[in-house]
Amino acid sequence: MSIALLTFDVFGTVLDWRRGLRNALGGRMPDDAFDRIVDRQGELERQEFQEYAAIVAQSLVEEFGLEAGEAARIGSAAGSWPLFPDSAVALRRLREIAPCAAITNSDLAHRPQIEAQLGFPLDGWICAEEVRKYKPAPEMWRATAERMGVQPGRPWWHVSAYADYDHRTARALGLTCVFVERPHSRPGQADLVVKDLLQLAERIA
């Protein structure tokens, strides 16, 4: 099995997006509100570019009625939301197999928050703030190819819980797609389906 690069969606795949946002809102968020917030963020990401922290804040004001200052604080701290329990140990193991990089609809400021939780740096961090585009835009993967020195193809594996944001574009570029069955996942066609990142590490070790 030839793997040149492993790339990962972060929010919802590595980081527990729904639990993190619910905790940030003091446990006040029902599941249907989360879906509305996420869908509104997707709409905002297709409009004139703004940083992800601002998109989080705007979605919380519009869909949850949050005060603007509190919403801004939550957006800025989104990288401190909890990881899934398997993420850190699995990524440590996966980095022994191939370089591991994030392709993420988030900001540069979220990277140190997330890597502090992991306990180690990822091999790359390609985020919307740098590219000025949000997934599923193919520019995110093209920037990753340039940054990581790997051309799109089967030896590049992309790991995500979201077919709509990630796998549709990754498959079009010829990547191997791994779908992770997270609590708030959006399934689609994939080459490999795993229950979590530890199972992925076990399958390809």
Output the pLDDT for position 109: 96
Q: Among residues 79, 95, 113, which one ends one of the domains?
A: 79
Q: Is 62 in the same domain as 87?
A: no
| Tens digits of pLDDT across the chain (205 residues) | 689 999 999 999 999 999 999 999 998 888 789 999 999 999 999 999 999 999 999 999 999 999 999 999 999 999 999 999 999 999 999 999 999 999 999 999 999 999 999 999 999 999 999 999 999 999 999 999 999 999 999 999 999 999 999 999 999 999 999 999 998 899 999 999 999 999 999 999 8
Q: Are residues 102 and 165 in the same domain?
A: yes
- Looking up tokens 């590219």, which residue turns up? 131
Q: Are 75 and 106 within one domain?
A: no
Residues 74, 104: one domain? Answer: no
| Domain range enclosing 170 | 5-16+83-204
Residues 49 and 94 in one domain: no
Domain of residue 158, CATH code: 3.40.50.1000
Same-domain check for residues 123 and 151: yes
* Same structural domain, 182 and 200: yes
In the numeric block, which tokens belong to residue 105?
């609809």
Q: What tokens were used for 44?
A: 């905002």
DSSP category for residue 109? T
| Final residue of a structural domain among 29, 50, 79 | 79
63 and 88 co-located in one domain: no
- Report angle CA 162, 84, 27 to the nearest 5 degrees: 95
- Among 38, 135, 154, residue whose Cα is nearest residue 126: 135
Structural domains counted in the chain:
2
Residue type, position 174, single letter: G
Tokens of 50: 């703004």
Question: Is residue 13 helix, strand or coil?
Answer: coil
Q: Which residues, 6 or more positions from 93, have their beta carbon under 8 angstroms from its beta carbon?
A: 198, 201, 205
Point out which residues pair with 8 in neighbouring strands: 102, 159
Same domain, 68 and 143: no
Q: Tokens 């990089």 sit at which residue?
A: 101
Residues 22 and 10 in one domain: no
- Pair (42, 27) in one structural domain: yes
| Six token digits for residue 168 | 């549709």
If one counts every other C-beta atom within 10 angstroms of the C-beta of residue 126, the result is 21
Please tell me whether residues 147 and 193 are part of one structural domain.
yes
Give the three-class secondary structure for 143: helix
What pLDDT score was predicted for residue 49?
97
Alpha helices in 46-175 (DSSP H): 52-64, 68-76, 87-94, 110-118, 128-131, 139-148, 168-172
**What integer pLDDT is reported at residue 205 of this predicted model?**
84
pTM recorded for the entire structure: 0.95
Domain C-terminal end among 28, 46, 79: 79
